[in-house]
């Protein structure tokens, strides 16, 4: 009975070690993994591209409008220079000015639309950049926290492993071997308490004879349902 109790205590330590190692595995997988930032980075890149595209359109339209201004100035200079005196020629020059102004007005309307699109793109891009910066800062903080946690867990595993080895050394070797085989077969557990006449692990009612054997036998008695070694309280 004493050996079974020692096995149960050994299992408690082993389960703690298992939890630590599982968590260390999670941390190892998470360290350096910034895949969650990919959508935000894509959004930020798209936002910058949209701003650049609208800026190119704005510059092109600015150039066109400026060209129309130069044309208007050139025609007006000729119109008011005094060198043209014929009424028909003067009318033609005025008609040219009016046509160029209409063309310029059409380009200015397009320019206004582009400026509105550019303003919208800048707002969207700015929001995406802020969201990315915040997410990257949070990611960096999480990475630092996990690095610290990893070091702490590594130290605790070392201490627990030492305690585990000391406990195992105090238990008869055949019992430890049975315990290890059972743990491998039962997903990390080997011992379950007998609560009155019920197995703590599988919650199955234990036959009276088996329960009595678990309470009195010096040999390990297993639950007939789940196969764990029973520890009678």
pLDDT in tens, 170-195: 999 999 999 999 999 998 999 999 99
Residue 80's pLDDT is what?
Answer: 84
CA distance linking residue 182 with residue 203, whole number of Å: 18
Residue 1's pLDDT is what?
Answer: 60
Q: What are phi and psi of 10, to 5 degrees?
A: -65, -40
Q: Which residues contact 221 (CB under 8 A, 6 or more apart)?
A: 210, 213, 214, 229, 230
Q: What are phi and psi of 230, to 5 degrees?
A: -90, 135
Architecture of the CATH domain 2-27+172-232: Orthogonal Bundle (1.10)
- Is residue 216 within 8 A of residue 230, CB to CB? The reply is no
Residue 86's pLDDT is what?
Answer: 87
Integer angstrom CA distances of residue 118 from 52, 115, 206 = 9, 5, 76
The full set of domain ranges for the chain reads 2-27+172-232, 33-139
DSSP 205: B
pLDDT, one tens digit for every residue, the chain (233 residues) = 678 999 999 999 999 999 999 999 999 999 999 999 999 999 999 999 999 999 999 999 999 999 999 999 998 888 888 887 788 888 888 899 999 999 999 999 999 999 999 999 999 999 999 999 999 999 999 999 999 999 999 999 999 999 999 999 999 999 999 999 999 999 899 999 999 999 999 999 999 999 999 999 888 999 999 999 999 97
CA distance linking residue 115 with residue 78, whole number of Å: 34
């Amino acid at each position: 009975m004493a050996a079974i109790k020692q096995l149960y205590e050994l299992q408690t330590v082993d389960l703690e070690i298992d939890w630590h190692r599982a968590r260390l595995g999670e941390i190892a997988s998470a360290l350096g993994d910034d895949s969650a930032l990919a959508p935000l980075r894509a959004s930020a890149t798209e936002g910058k591209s949209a701003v650049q595209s609208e800026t190119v359109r704005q510059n092109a339209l600015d150039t066109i409008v400026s060209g129309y201004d130069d044309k208007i100035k050139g025609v007006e200079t000729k119109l008011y220079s005094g060198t043209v005196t014929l009424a028909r020629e003067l009318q033609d020059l005025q008609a040219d000015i009016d046509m160029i102004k209409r063309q310029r007005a059409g380009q200015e309307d397009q320019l206004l639309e582009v400026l509105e699109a550019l303003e919208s793109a800048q707002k969207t891009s700015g929001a995406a950049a802020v969201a990315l910066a915040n997410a990257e800062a949070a990611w960096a903080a999480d990475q630092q926290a996990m690095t610290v946690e990893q070091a702490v867990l590594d130290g605790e595993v070392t201490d627990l492993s030492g305690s585990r080895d000391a406990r195992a050394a105090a238990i008869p070797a055949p019992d430890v071997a049975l315990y290890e085989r059972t743990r491998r077969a039962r997903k990390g557990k080997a011992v379950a308490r007998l609560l009155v006449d019920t197995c703590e692990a599988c919650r199955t009612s234990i036959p009276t004879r088996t329960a009595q054997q678990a309470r009195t036998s010096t040999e390990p008695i297993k639950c007939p349902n789940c196969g764990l070694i029973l520890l009678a309280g």
